[in-house]
Amino acid sequence: MHNRIATGDRILQWNANADATCPLCQHLFFACEYSRLVWEPLAKDILKEKYTTDWDQNLSILKSRAFSGIAQFFIRYTFHATIYGLWRERNAIKHGETPSPRQRLVKVIDKAVRNRLSTIRLKGGRDYENGLVYWFDTRA
């Protein structure tokens, strides 16, 4: 959203001869089957009927106040953690590492979200008192 991740279009601005395609599918984020299969189990039960893999619709949801409190936190943080996880996975593949099974990446992102909530609670964040209960309720 702030053009900070070196996506294909930015890489091409730096080096016109670079290979800017996704090593998984030649698509960007949720248009990619791998990405969609990572995003779905993390977000579907939070977003419910608003669930989508469309990039622009997800950004609209993130900017809106369609959800309140803990749900809004989880939507935004899960999106952030998913984008970061997918970027790291694609970067690792571009540098010769073996692709991770998508289930492994889902578990890594799930744990990152839970760890973030734990650190907020440890710092005295009372607004997220029932956050872990909510998160586990949204796991399929």
Lowest mean pLDDT among 1-5, 25-29, 38-42: 1-5
pLDDT of residue 140: 63
pLDDT of residue 106: 96
Q: H or E element: which one contains 42?
A: helix 33-47
What does the pLDDT look like over 85-136, one tens digit per residue?
A: 988 888 888 888 998 899 999 999 999 998 988 888 777 766 677 788 888 8
pLDDT of residue 66: 82
- Which pair of tokens denotes residue 52? 């989508």
| pLDDT of 38 above 60 | yes
Among the residues of 48-101, which ranges form H helices? 55-63, 69-94
DSSP 3-state assignment of 133?
A: helix
pLDDT of residue 5: 55
